[in-house]
Amino acid sequence: MNTLIALAALLVPAAFPAPQQKQEPPSFSLAWSEWPGWSIYGVAEELGLLDGKKGALGTVEQQYGVDVVLQEMDYDPCLTAYGSGTVDAVCVTNMDILGLCLSRESVAILINDTSEGGDMWLTTDPLLTWESLKNRKEPLELHGLQNSVSHYVGVRLLERHGLGEDAVRWVNMDPGAAATAMQQGNLQNIVAWNPFCLNVLNANKKARVLGSSKEIPGEVMDLVVVDQKVLDQPGGKGFALALIDAYYRVMERLVDPKTQDDTVTAVGAKFSRLPLEEMRKVLDGTKYVTTPQAAIEFFTGPDCRVTMTKVADFCMAHLNLEKRPTVGYGTREKAGTMNFRFDPSYLQAFAQGR
């Protein structure tokens, strides 16, 4: 009898198995900073598309079965976090990724926007022109963040107007400090980006735009970049698709006249807390890539390759890189192993699945 009771006790768990614990979705992290194209992720969180906290899922995360952890920080810490491997993906320019990809095989899955006027050379010198700069006997003192996109824009503007880099003496200075100094009338020439430039133009009526990234359309790209090893992990593709999907859902609201003002206001709140009209000025210098088809065409078009050659040339001349980064286009199977690659396959998968 005791034997039968013991056998019955052993059979009970088999007949009524304990409920299995729900498997947690794979978690991935994105570092982003304030910029019109990247502040979109802050808006996506407000809309409930993404929930930036670990363990909590927005509607897009639920759709793709991934947990997206959003880490907002200043731009330089974003680069440091990605370079050190503490985040899986980063919002970054096409120039800055070239220094990071030498130690971490990186893939651009999305282009958010290009700067087309958002990076500016400001001057308070009423007599300064490109022609007068050619006739100067001494280099012009120009302040800005050295070896940054600002530096690249400054050099490209000089080239566009038939001048060499020796026409200026570059003085390394944080853009915030340079902008404040110009607002106070203490500097005559700076290269910086919005919102610093907007603040200067509003505060110092002598300040004007000598040149801007509008003269080099498509050359300053704002991207979402993911480590190739992360994309290879279970859920890696879902992570990429979730970032793409969330971005375009906000884009749809941004181009829809019914929701445009509210969305611009929301982006402005995430981008230096700018009100609607000020944010509209910022967006005048930002060309959003509003559809996946446009992004695919950008990644696969010839202009992207030409631009990246120029950017890599600049990086080799200024950044003291140990070697020239290899840049590829297409899937890894098509392009081979590269330090950095523009891969349209995630955009294509998203577009096909809509």
> Which of 46, 101, 108, 39 has its CA nearest to residue 75?
39
- Tell me which fold the domain 119-215 belongs to: D-Maltodextrin-Binding Protein; domain 2 (3.40.190)
Cα distance between the two ends of the chain: 64
Alpha helices in the chain (DSSP H): 2-15, 40-46, 59-64, 75-83, 96-100, 130-134, 149-160, 175-183, 196-203, 228-232, 236-255, 260-270, 276-284, 292-300, 302-318, 332-335, 345-353
What integer pLDDT is reported at residue 104 of this predicted model? 98
Residue 19 is predicted with a pLDDT of 54
Q: Among 108-112, 226-230, 265-269, 271-275, whose mean pLDDT is lowest?
A: 271-275
pLDDT at 9 exceeding the cut of 60: no
CA distances from 8 to 14, 16, 216, 251 (A): 10, 12, 79, 62
Structural tokens at position 76: 């330089």
pLDDT of residue 20: 57
Instruction: Calculate what percentage of the chain has a pLDDT beyond 70.
Output: 94
Is the predicted pLDDT of residue 10 greater than 50, yes or no?
no
Task: Report residue 175: phi and psi, to 5°.
Answer: -60, -35
Q: Give the pLDDT band of residue 162 (cuts 50, 70, 90).
A: very high
Answer whether residue 12 shows pLDDT above 50: no
Intervals of CATH 3.40.190.10 along the chain: 27-115+219-353, 119-215
The tens digit of pLDDT for each residue in 114-145 reads 999 999 999 999 999 999 999 999 999 999 99
pTM over 0.85: yes
Selection from 132, 109, 135 nearest residue 347 by Cα: 109
Q: What is the mean pLDDT of the chain?
A: 94
CA distance 197 to 282: 10
Cβ-Cβ contacts under 8 Å for 109 (sequence gap 6 or more)? 224, 225, 226, 231, 240, 243, 244, 343, 346, 347
Cis peptide bond prior to 325, omega within 30° of 0: no
Which CATH class name applies to 27-115+219-353? alpha beta
* ∠ Cα 196 40 263 (to 5°): 95
Of the listed ranges 5-14, 163-172, 273-282, 292-301, the least confidently predicted one is 5-14
Asked if the model's pLDDT at residue 283 lies above 50, the reply is yes
